[in-house]
Structure formats: structure tokens, C-alpha cells
Amino acid sequence: MVRMAHRERISLQINMHPNDAGHVRHILPHQLRVWGEQVDRTLVILDLHRSRAGRYRNQDFDRNLHRLRQELNRLARASSLDVLEVDYSPAAKRAVARRFFDTDDIPEKAWDGGPFYSYFFGLWAAQTDYILRMDSDMLYGGGSLSWIAEAIALLEDNSDVMFVAPLSGPPRADGRLLGQRDLETGAARKHATLPYTFLFPTVSTRVFLTGPRLLRDLTGQFELSRPGRSQWIRARLLGNPSRALEAETVLSRNMQRLGCWRADMLGNGAGMWTLHPPYRSPAFYHTLPELIDRIERDDVPDRQRGHYDINDSMIDWSEPRRRNTKMRRWLRHLSQVVGRMTERYS
């Protein structure tokens, strides 16, 4: 077990919403198996704020919340797990906003209805020196028990690295990452000396390790990235706040402004790498236990290696892909806008 010198130095922080009820039963135990030996505390940040519209809207909120609480209570009895609901009180919002943005208020949601305040609340609420924060649907292979210690060493030895994440996708023999736009455009690059390590100018809120001490040094220095005109109009039509882009875009732009990087690192030995399910479908939920078992055993097809999103070599995504075309998404948005107008004027 990798432990640091004093108590509760490292926390595993997992953000959840009632939308996540369908996969938590299988994925949370997987995440605890993979990371539990390397952390001092596991904290679930439970966000109960509802988006009015968009893909983050939960149309079965109460039933899914009940299911989610049942799973969290069951797992808490079998493991060391703390659950903290996001505090949306004016005092908490003011403290979080001042901590990161030197303002008295930040929006609850991003322009598209996605989480915003809850991410910064989780970072603000952490009481440990380092945080490994992740979304509830992230899957991990490699199984290294030393990855966090290696990631902390990378942070401490490189003042221009603000975030460290496991390698994006199972490693290929040739060391390449596929489908990464930043690498294709030359905005990202391989680390000069560390194998299977890449430096990116962007960060994903799906998973990263950072230190509150690092972020404390930047108190009040972050800037909000505001939506463009078309995004502002869509946000207003859907009833979402129109003050900020997605949290990962805001973090990425501030990281670039400060001349910092995110490092994707495999680490020593089998290391640690991620996979992300791009869709939710009956096939996904049905095959999830088998999928997790395959990932933990490194039973991964060659066509998946180097890709961070789970592709058709592991799950047939043809049906959810058909339902998620751009035209269908716009029709869903239009339906929500019409519904909002009907509610407003009825």
C-alpha cells in the first residue's frame, strides 16, 4: 500500500448526480478496488441541483436519486466512504467563488446545463494535500499501486504542471495516443524523458490529480470564460445560466494563461490508464460487469488501444450513435425550447 507520511494526505473525490444511478452499482466498487489502497479518504460529492434543459436534464430525478442513495448506503457499509452533498447556500457559494475567481458568485451550471459550481465546491471542500477527482463513469486499467505517488512526484518536480491524469486509453506498443486533437495539431507533445507521458494544454474534468496547495497559490486568479453569442442564445432559450462555458474549458483557459500543463502519465510497470464510455444504452448496462472485468484483466482488443473512448471493438455502439446524431440532438433541444415556452406562457 502506498501511504504518505501523515494522515489523510490524499483523497479520492468522485462527483455524482442522480443521472449516474444506472452505473454506480458496478463502477464505484471498481474505482474503489483500483484506487482505495493509494488514498486516505474517499469522498463522494453528490450534486442534487437540477438542470432545466439539455443533455444533463434528469427527467426521472426522484426515482434515480432514491436508487443512487441506496447504492451509496450499501457501499458505505462495506467500505470507508463519505458522502457530501454540494452546498448551494449563499455563504458557501460566496466562499467558493472568492476562493477561485475573486468574485462573490459563480453560476450553478455551465451554459449547456452541465455541472460547474459542483466541481469547484469539491476542490474547495477537500481537506487533503492532494485530490484525485473523477467522474463516476470512469474506468481504469493497469492496476498500478504506485501511480498516485509517481503523479505527486511529477507535480512536485515540475512547477509548470498543474494537473496529472492516467494515460488516456490503454497503451499501444508504439506509444501513440489516437484521436487526440491536441496531439494532431501539435498543441500537445510527448514528455522529453518519461515514457508514455504527454503534456497537454487542456484538462478534462473527467479525471485529474492536483493539490489544493497548488490551487491555493492561485487564489482569486482564475477568470470565467463566457459563452459566445450563439451559446448565450441557446443557454437563454433552454433556461440555463449564460455566464460561463464548461468547467473544463474554464480550467483549460486559465491553465494556458498561467503557462501550465496537464500531464497524462502511464507510470511504471503496467501503470494506470483510463477508458470512458461515450454513450448510455441497454447494451452498455448489460455488459458493464463483463466490461469492467476485462479492463481489470487487460483483456483489451488492439483496435481499442490508444483510444480513450470505449469503441465498437468492445461494445456495439451503433444504436446509441444512430440516436445521437447532430440532427436528433437539435430536435431534442427544439422540443425542450418549445416545452419551456409552453410552461412560461401557460
Dihedral angle computed from the Cα positions of residues 60, 16, 248 and 32, in that order, rounded to the nearest 10 degrees:
-140
Whole-angstrom Cα distance, residue 41 to residue 79? 11
> What is the pLDDT confidence band of residue 234, given thresholds at 50, 70 and 90?
confident
Q: What is the chain's mean pLDDT, rounded? A: 88
The residue-averaged pLDDT of 274-284 equals 94
Question: Residue 341 domain-assigned?
Answer: no
Run of H or E residues at 209: strand 207-210
Q: Would residue 220 count as lying in a domain? A: yes
Q: How far is CA 28 from the centre of its chain?
A: 14
CA gyration radius, the chain: 20
When pLDDT is averaged across residues 89-116 and rounded to a whole number, the result is 92
Q: What is the mean pLDDT of residues 206-231?
A: 84
Selection from 52, 56, 65 nearest residue 22 by Cα: 65
More confident residue, 337 or 29: 29
Query: Would 80 be classed as within a structural domain?
Result: yes
Question: What's the pTM?
Answer: 0.88
Residue with cell 486509453: 169
b/e 250-286 (16+ beta carbons within 10 angstroms → b): bbbbbbeeeebbbbbbbbeeebbbbbbbeeebeebee
Q: Where are the alpha helices (DSSP H) in the chain?
A: 21-35, 61-78, 90-101, 117-125, 147-157, 181-185, 212-216, 229-238, 247-257, 282-296, 318-323, 326-345
**How high is the pLDDT of residue 325?**
62
Q: What is the pLDDT of residue 340?
A: 46
pLDDT, mean of residues 19-34: 95
User: For residue 56, what is its C-alpha cell?
Assistant: 444533463
| Residue 182: C-alpha distances to residues 190, 227, 242, 262 (Å) | 11, 22, 27, 12
Say if 327 falls within a structural domain.
no
DSSP string, 273-316: EEEB-----HHHHHHHHHHHHHHHTT---GGGTT-SB--TTTS-
Q: What is the DSSP string of 17-68?
A: -GGGHHHHHHHHHHHHHHHGGG-SEEEEEE--PPPSSSTT--TTHHHHHHHH
**What tens digit of pLDDT does each residue of 165-189 get?**
999 999 999 999 999 999 989 999 9
**Listed range (68-77, 224-233, 334-343) with the worst mean pLDDT:** 334-343
Asked if the structure places residue 59 within a domain, the reply is: yes
Structure confidence by residue, pLDDT tens digits, 134-159: 999 999 999 999 999 999 999 999 98
Domain for residue 339, yes or no?
A: no
Q: Are 199 and 262 in contact (CB under 8 A)?
A: yes
- Domain span including residue 129: 10-317
DSSP, res 226: P
CA distance linking residue 12 with residue 35, whole number of Å: 8
- Is a pLDDT exceeding 60 seen at residue 196? yes
Indicate the pLDDT class of residue 8, thresholds 50, 70 and 90.
low
Q: Residue 15, SS3?
A: strand
The residues, any chain, with a CB within 8 Å of residue 36's CB and separated by 6 or more, are 12, 42, 79
* Tens digit of each residue's pLDDT (9 = 90 or more) over 28-87: 999 999 999 999 999 999 999 886 655 556 668 899 999 999 999 998 887 889 999 999
pLDDT of the residue at 53: 57
Structural domains in the chain (count): 1
CA–CA separation, 270 vs 266, rounded Å? 8
Pick 54 or 14 by higher pLDDT.
14
User: Interior CA angle at 15 toward 143 and 46, to 5°?
Assistant: 135
Q: Does the residue 289 lie in any domain?
A: yes
- Average pLDDT for residues 185-202, to the nearest whole number? 93
**CATH classification of the domain holding 293:** 3.90.550.10
In-domain check, residue 137: yes
